Amino acid sequence: MPKAIKTYVRWVDSISWYTGIFAMYLIFVLLGILVYASIMKVFFLPSNWTVEMAQFVMVAYYLLGGAYTLQTDDHVRMDLMYGSWSEKKKAKVDLVTSLTLIFFLVVLLIGGIASTHYAYHYAERSFSSWRPYMLPVKAVMTFGIFLTLLQAIALFFKDWATARGEPADWLTANDETLS
């Protein structure tokens, strides 16, 4: 593989790893919001912001963790025949599915950019009684999709190297931290 591709893969893997670790901690933020909402509902007056804020945090958790999930190969896959294939055959099949994923993520990213632009340009707000601005959650959504797209491209390069029979010593950026 050319040095530029190896550098790209290492760079994207590193960003995905750190973003994924950050996203993992968002579950505690979500838990805090839900505990607060439960206490307020049972003992005091319920807050009108907690459900929507929990949804926003869940969006960030899900989308910011997408690239990390691709990187660590923790995503769901149909393993009926896949598990018995050789590494080269898996990589060749993954090349095709990676192209499909990249196409899907490009379409999502275009929609995310348009939606974020709309939220910024028109100061879009939610229709709930809390009425928060939608720009922050849409910007996080678009960034998460963009990062997942970058990771999908890196995954394509990794599969390409594996399909060609190249050694896998350069495929992960943080060997110590990923294991």
Instruction: For residue range 25-63, list pLDDT tens digits in order.
Output: 999 999 999 999 999 999 999 888 999 999 999 999 999
Alpha carbon 113 to its chain centroid, in Å, reads: 16
Domain locations in the chain as residue ranges: 3-74+84-170
Q: Write out residues in the chain with pLDDT < 50, as ranges.
A: 175-179
CA distances from 42 to 29, 38, 49, 53, 54 (A): 20, 6, 16, 19, 18
Angle (CA) 68-16-165 rounded to 5° is 80
Yes or no: say if 88 and 163 are a contact pair by the CB < 8 Å rule: yes
pLDDT at 171: 60
pLDDT at 175: 47
